[in-house]
């Protein structure tokens, strides 16, 4: 198994990429600290892992709060004795996120607090734990919109994910000699509840689909497979990378017919 004897902390583990990754990592031998604020669904993720013979614990944490992030890492170490993989995956996409003129300051602040500050706090408390374990892998969920502008305006989300990408590069350089790798997973548009709530009309969905050469939205399971590669020793010479899994959207210049 590709993550045998590893301990992985995954934020946003109640649904979407987080849940699929938790299930896959557990199947590959990792013990899982599943973190979220949606307790019933987070507990459901843990139950699914245990029902399949895996080992997992649920931890409630609001990643925009330092005390919660410190506590989630502490509980993961107390439960399993170490931390080898930190997947800073949790994020939001606010329905009120639009262009710079119409997006409310409160929407901007909330998005930054969760999507960008949350990754910073995860690393602030998680990287020392990886050091204590002798090294490990940090995976930060960015987005294809960190690399190009979105057809449907979402200024706060786009800016937050650009920040995640820049922070990932810097952390990778800082910790490269400590056997700690830091990479960014950049998903394309996915068929997840998070995006579908934002693309809430057929017109909005088609505005995205028309730019994707593969002609479909990605699946959370496909992102989990990418995260597994970054978490495993198979990516041992990768750090500071933009791991783009996007159906070709960032490669497309003209709309395919």
Q: Among all residues, which ones are annotated catalytic? A: 157
What are 181's strand-pairing partners? 137
CA separation (Å) from 229 to 92, 124, 147?
24, 23, 21
CA distance 172 to 177: 9
User: Would you say 53 and 32 are in contact if contact means Cβ atoms under 8 Å apart?
Assistant: no
Q: Is 53 helix (H, G, I), strand (E, B) or coil?
A: coil
User: Would you say 135 and 233 are in contact if contact means Cβ atoms under 8 Å apart?
Assistant: no
User: Would you say 17 and 221 are in contact if contact means Cβ atoms under 8 Å apart?
Assistant: no
CA separation (Å) from 78 to 7, 62, 75?
11, 19, 5
Q: Is 190 helix (H, G, I), strand (E, B) or coil?
A: strand
Q: What share of the chain is helix, strand, coil (3-state, %, to 5)?
A: 50, 15, 35
């Amino acid at each position: 198994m590709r993550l045998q004897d590893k301990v992985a902390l995954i934020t946003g583990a109640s649904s979407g990429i987080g849940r699929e990754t938790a299930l896959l990592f557990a199947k590959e031998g990792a013990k899982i600290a599943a973190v979220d604020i949606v307790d019933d669904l987070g507990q459901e993720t843990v139950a699914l892992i245990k029902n399949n013979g895996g080992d997992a614990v649920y931890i409630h944490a609001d990643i925009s709060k330092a005390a919660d992030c410190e506590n989630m890492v502490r509980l993961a170490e107390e439960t399993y004795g170490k931390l080898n993989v930190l997947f800073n995956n949790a994020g939001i996409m606010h329905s009120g996120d639009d262009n710079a003129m119409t997006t409310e300051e409160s929407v901007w602040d909330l998005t930054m607090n969760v999507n960008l500050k949350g990754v910073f706090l995860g690393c602030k408390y998680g990287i020392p734990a990886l050091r204590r374990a002798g090294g490990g892998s940090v995976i930060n969920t960015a987005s294809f919109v960190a690399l190009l502008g979105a057809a449907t305006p979402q200024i706060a989300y786009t800016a937050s994910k650009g920040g995640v990408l820049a922070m990932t590069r810097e952390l990778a350089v800082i910790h490269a000699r400590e056997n700690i790798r830091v990479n960014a997973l950049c998903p394309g548009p996915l068929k997840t509840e998070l995006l579908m709530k934002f693309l809430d009309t057929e017109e909005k969905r088609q505005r995205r689909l028309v730019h994707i050469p593969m002609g479909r939205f990605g699946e959370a399971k496909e992102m989990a497979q990418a995260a597994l590669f970054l978490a495993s020793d198979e990516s041992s010479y990768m750090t500071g990378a933009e791991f783009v899994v996007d159906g070709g959207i960032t490669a497309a210049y003209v709309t395919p017919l």
